[in-house]
Structure 1
Amino acid sequence: MSEPRVRPDPAFALLELYETALPEVYGYLLSRCGSRSVAEDLTSETFLGAVSACRNEKAPVSTPWLIGVARHKLVDHWRRREREERGLRLVHEAKSVDPWDEEVDALLAREVLAELGAHHRAALTLRYLDGLRVAEVAQLLGRTVHATEALLVRAKAAFRTVYQQKEGRRD
């Protein structure tokens, strides 16, 4: 009977490389993002991602490989930031033509809400009738804050369209 073989954890190779690669990875990220705190966060994400990659696939653990992982983490960060800024622009633009600032006929508004989809109705009711913050609405709906902001923008647009049709106005 043969002895069971225990494979060493491939992440140990990363641990051996950590001290020499850390300054290079951090320097790479800092020079591209310009913020110490962001570079620190991305550096930790890089090493956490590298540990996962080492364990899940046969990764060539080296400093250039870690720089490649850092590059992907930086791109992910830029994408997240762009989505956040896009969401803020949408929210800002929506505020300029917000029907919630106008006087709304309560009975007509109830009719319109009844015609909207359940997800739009829930988001609008929680946010504007119950007065919850977007983060609280997101938690109750089981969504991220950004997804909830986007949902609210779409829900308000749908509400506005139906309300104006029922009121007899056209844009």
Structure 2
Amino acid sequence: MSACISDIMDDSAVAFSELGLLLPHMKLKGPNRVFSNVHAGGLGWAMPAALGAQLADRDRLVIACVGDGSYMFANPVACHQIAEALGLPILTIIKNNAMWNAVRRSVVKGYPDGAAVRQNRIPLTSLEPLPDFTQVARASRAHAERIERGADLPDALRRAVEVIRTERRQVLLDLSVAASDDH
């Protein structure tokens, strides 16, 4: 995912990452291209930060790469409404594993032999039933797609950039990913 995103980033593009982008897999075209928050807090900051960056430079490709939980913390209805109202065509990419994976990962790493790990599902980590994030974005006339296979991501990203550049509309890509203990 990170490599695919860096492939669409031109010389001025910027990305805001909440547990989403892996810098070793990116070929960035200069400084100040990716901004990340600390994992200790601040969930929900990337999408509003992307809106601010787009407001500051309306010709720049601006990307918010978030987890599904981070997306919900961003107050996406308000963010999408502002994007539409002010004509801020950001690209939001959701890494969707239908859980609070950072919480699950912390439990597994902190208490590998604990009672929570021995259960089929670690308590308080599931986001099920998961909202349809594409419908949330479409409520504000965003172009929105759900991507189930990684092989489909490059084409979806190309379509996203085309919509942003020609239609000046926001885009949401809801990318299905597996849970990982590494990132």
Q: TM-score of the superposition, structure 1-length normalised?
A: 0.21
Higher strand share: 2
- Select the structure that is richer in helix: 1
Whose radius of gyration is greater, 1 or 2? 1
> Which structure's relative contact order is higher, taking Cα pairs within 8 Å and 6+ residues apart?
2
TM-score for both structures, normalised by structure 2? 0.20
